[in-house]
Amino acid sequence: MSDHLNERDRDFDVTGVAPSGPLHGNSPEGFRSGFVSFVGRPNAGKSTLTNALVGSKVVITSSKPQTTRTVVRGIVHRDDAQLILVDTPGLHRPRTLLGERLNDLVKTTWAEVDVVAVCFPANEKIGPGDTFIVNELAKVRKTVKIAIATKTDLATPEQIGEHLLAIAELGRTTGTEWAEIIPVSAVGGSQVKLLEELLVGLLPEGPMLYPDGELSDAPEEAIVAELIREASLEGVRDELPHSIAVVVEEMALKEDRPADKPLLLIHANLYVERDSQKGIIIGHKGARLREVGMAARKQIEAILGTPVYLDLHVKVAKDWQRDPRQLRKLGF
């Protein structure tokens, strides 16, 4: 028996999901990879800068790559490096114990990334909000910190000069060692490339952590299956950590489509072990499965660069984890 839902809503913008854990190990000698987080007060220009860096190279954005606390916003793929831009939770002035705990969490997350880049908009004076963030960041000793003067197109050269001095001074008063202080305009495109070079230079040597745009090493079906699995586990990871397997039954371009309007048809089965798990995956009147389908589709589209029609079926394969025959069938 199978339930299935065709997911038709195509009205949203594209992002993608990061497969969990390293996927691609064959990286050239001297390859660098690591995580960079942009922080700063609201409106500092973090998102715009992320987009400017990632540009058309957006391959993956998602939730839960290495830790459950960071969200991948985009990845810059280069021949010599992979720069993974992550969001870390925002820091707040603590008013309660919970607030303090949250801030501790933020600091733990900052300690897990390789570089924290603080954004200070050049058209605004450095204020108490900035000072608070930098003071807290200073306590995270081992993470490399850089300062970015953002939105330089909105400031005069004199203002930018003063701004850079103020950032350096803030570093001194808070005991923060800026590895770099760099002025950038994400909108004007000025110095974005230089920022990329500086960031790559600050990353440790390491393997490629996510598949590159060409998906050269892993069959596309496997990646598609992994993306669907990730989406289906979103929010129910504790209930169904390993009970889901995904098999892509069919993946083909729809025939009779104009060359400039391709559509990739994907039929996939989602296997769970028990009826109760099926209910969790499908949700009330299929609502959850629809969300899973939409999330997975967006991610697949972002990776493969083609509009996708995703058809998902949920099936029960009793105790598939313990049955070698089932396991083989499911590709394990």
**51: buried, middle or exposed (CB in 10 Å: 19+, 13-18, 0-12)?**
middle
| Interstrand relation of 264-272 and 308-316 (parallel, antiparallel or unpaired) | parallel
Tokens 């190990």 — which residue? 25
Nearest approach in angstroms of CB 47 to ligand GTP is 3
Cα separations (Å) of 57 from 82, 91, 213, 254? 11, 29, 8, 26
Tell whether 61 is in a known binding site: no
Q: Which is nearer to ligand GTP, 27 or 88 (CB)?
A: 88
* Selected binder of ligand GTP within 2, 6, 43, 306 (CB under 6 A): 43
Bridge partners of 147? 118, 181
Range 183-202, binding ligand GTP (CB under 6 A): 185-187
* Selected binder of ligand GTP within 32, 73, 151, 288 (CB under 6 A): 151
Q: Which is nearer to ligand GTP, 40 or 171 (CB)?
A: 40
Tell whether 288 is in a known binding site: no
The answer to whether 92 and 129 have CB atoms below 8 angstroms apart is no
- Any idea of the CA torsion for 38, 41, 43, 44, to the nearest 10 degrees? -50
Tell whether 217 is in a known binding site: no
- Any idea of the CA torsion for 300, 14, 303, 63, to the nearest 10 degrees? -80
CA–CA gap between residue 246 and residue 17 (Å, rounded)? 16
- Check binding of 327 to ligand GTP (CB under 6 A): no
Structure tokens at 98: 């919970």
- Check binding of 61 to ligand GTP (CB under 6 A): no
Cα 208 → chain centroid: 15
- Check binding of 106 to ligand GTP (CB under 6 A): no
Tell whether 152 is in a known binding site: yes
Tell whether 216 is in a known binding site: no
- Check binding of 326 to ligand GTP (CB under 6 A): no
HEC sequence for 26-44: CCCCCCEEEEEEEECCCCC
- Check binding of 74 to ligand GTP (CB under 6 A): no
Structure tokens at 330: 């499911």
CA 149, 153, 154, 155 dihedral sign is positive
Tell whether 10 is in a known binding site: no
- Check binding of 145 to ligand GTP (CB under 6 A): no
CA–CA gap between residue 132 and residue 99 (Å, rounded)? 14
* Selected binder of ligand GTP within 47, 103, 159, 326 (CB under 6 A): 47
Q: Which is nearer to ligand GTP, 13 or 238 (CB)?
A: 13
- Check binding of 163 to ligand GTP (CB under 6 A): no
- Check binding of 243 to ligand GTP (CB under 6 A): no
Range 167-186, binding ligand GTP (CB under 6 A): 185-186
* Selected binder of ligand GTP within 5, 44, 113, 146 (CB under 6 A): 44
Nearest approach in angstroms of CB 97 to ligand GTP is 25
The answer to whether 239 and 280 have CB atoms below 8 angstroms apart is yes
Tell whether 89 is in a known binding site: yes
Counting residues that bind ligand GTP (by CB under 6 A) gives 15
- Check binding of 48 to ligand GTP (CB under 6 A): yes
- Check binding of 124 to ligand GTP (CB under 6 A): no
Tell whether 94 is in a known binding site: no
The answer to whether 90 and 41 have CB atoms below 8 angstroms apart is no
Nearest approach in angstroms of CB 87 to ligand GTP is 9
Binding residues for ligand GTP (CB under 6 A): 40, 42-48, 150-151, 153-154, 185-187
